Amino acid sequence: MKSLLVYLFLLFTSSVFSQIFVTNRSSEPIWVATVTYQNNGSFSGYVSDGWYKIIPGERKSCGGKLHDGDNTYYVHAHSSGYTKTWGSDNYFTVDKKKPFTIENCDMKYVQKDPNNKQVGFIKKFVHIGLFDPYKVEVILK
């Protein structure tokens, strides 16, 4: 019985995570990138994911997952031609044009790739736990 309880505890606590959802409330399409801290045993560090195209009024899951104990994530968005941007305080590396996942996006050596550049991100906070909602919502207007 004790081993069954331990198994159930590990099953439920190891699968607790939240996805990042972004809603576009602007009047034009936007492209979104996110940064999360990942620690999966083989890699530990910041990971940027993008580009997620979101049309006006659309809500979309964007990027990495936040696991129990994670409380910080970052979001960048821009319109076509960067006429509107969201995020300017925290800089991470992204691909200039193509969809991407970049590990160690906060490290200088990653910036040396000619296809990459740095953009500003908004820093967001959330608590993810066993009894908390499993959705993180960002609304960009």
How much of the chain exceeds pLDDT 70, in percent? Answer: 73
Using the predicted structure, report yes or no on whether residue 94 has a pLDDT greater than 90: yes
pLDDT of residue 61: 87
pLDDT of residue 134: 43
State the pLDDT confidence band at 16, using cuts at 50, 70 and 90.
low
48 Cα distance to chain centroid:
7
The pTM of the full predicted model, rounded to 2 decimals, is: 0.79
Contacts (Cβ under 8 Å, ≥6 apart) of 90:
35, 74, 120, 121, 122, 123
pLDDT of residue 125: 78
Q: What is the mean pLDDT of the chain?
A: 79
pLDDT of residue 133: 43
pLDDT of residue 105: 94
Using the predicted structure, report yes or no on whether residue 101 has a pLDDT greater than 90: yes
pLDDT tens digits, one per residue of 62-92? 877 776 666 788 899 999 988 898 888 899 9
CA pair distance 112, 47, nearest whole angstrom: 16
pLDDT of residue 3: 53
Do 51 and 106 form a contact (C-beta atoms < 8 A)? no
